[in-house]
A and B are shown apart, each in its own frame.
Chain A
Amino acid sequence: DAGVIQSPRHEVTEMGQEVTLRCKPISGHDYLFWYRQTMMRGLELLIYFNNNVPIDDSGMPEDRFSAKMPNASFSNLKIQPSEPRDSAVYFCASSLAVYNEQFFGPGTRLTVL
């Protein structure tokens, strides 16, 4: 079975541009998580979904960030407008249920110039 799939793997953009990160969770997993990893702040949970419904978005930095999960096999994270401080690796993860291990995608390395 394929693992969690993320695209693109690398994204370089200029400040002010819209950025869209995509994620396909493992089939059958009911939970989907978006994380951000930086040297300064480590791994932070941004938002997570249960059965396509956003449950907790308290980690989303500000209104420039939004995430949707239109169906069980796709989620996207948008940043509009992007800023240099958004530069980070963004991970998507999915899990079968609460307390199950989360399986991470390969990450998207975002650089905002």
Chain B
Amino acid sequence: AQKITQTQPGMFVQEKEAVTLDCTYDTSDPSYGLFWYKQPSSGEMIFLIYQGSYDQQNATEGRYSLNFQKARKSANLVISASQLGDSAMYFCAMSPGSSNTGKLIFGQGTTLQVKP
């Protein structure tokens, strides 16, 4: 079964510190894509970062980086130098390759609160 698991319902981090949000996935497809989205309290879904299963290097986008460990089937999001505006719900998602559709399977999300 294809599944995304986010085991941390809620996380706290001090402003300016780094934080890691966990994500594990389950798929038998050799080709797939992994995504992270941010959902602030206003409700919109904001794309953060993408990692392809064949990418040799971990993806980075500004303060966001994805710690991709293929053998462990994990795709953790690292946010460096946390800011108050990072407080939000974060979703990990997978696009399985077998269907070749771009269809996203989402995890349950992790709520991050940044403390001043």
User: Which chain A residues have a beta carbon within 8 Å of chain B's beta carbons?
Assistant: 31, 33, 42-43, 45, 48, 50, 55-56, 89, 91, 93, 95, 97-107, 109
- Give the interface centre of A43, A56, A100, A103 by most chain B CB atoms within 10 Å: A43
Assuming A42-B106, A42-B109, is B101 touching A101 (CB within 8 A)? no
User: Which chain B residues have a beta carbon within 8 Å of chain A's beta carbons?
Assistant: 33, 35, 37, 43-47, 50, 52, 91, 95, 99-109
Q: Which of B43, B47, B108, B109 contacts A102 (CB 8 A)?
A: B47
Assuming A31-B102, A45-B103, A56-B103, is B35 touching A101 (CB within 8 A)? yes
- A98 to B46: give the CA distance in the assembly, Å: 18
Q: Are A101 and B47 in contact (CB under 8 A)?
A: yes
- A31 to B107: give the CA distance in the assembly, Å: 21
